[in-house]
Amino acid sequence: MEEEVQTISGEKQPRWDLLTQQVRAYKQFVYQPVNLYKPYEIS
């Protein structure tokens, strides 16, 4: 989980940070379905 992954924008982040961001985005989508959920794409 500490391994850094390069994001689409070119910056590097730890896997745990990307996972946390995805959980927050999905939670927001569940409670407010008007906002679209965009999952992280593994490249």
Q: Where are the domains of the chain?
A: 1-35
What integer pLDDT is reported at residue 32 of this predicted model?
A: 86
Token pair belonging to 22: 């995805």
pLDDT tier at 43, thresholds 50, 70, 90: low
Locate 37 and state its tokens: 């959920």
User: How far apart are alpha carbons 12 and 36 in whole angstroms?
Assistant: 24
Give alpha helix (H) positions in 1-43.
15-31
Give the type of residue at 30: V
Predicted TM-score (pTM) of this structure: 0.68
Closest CA to 3 of 22, 24, 17: 17
* Whether residue 36 has pLDDT greater than 80: yes
Q: Which amino acid is at 34?
A: V
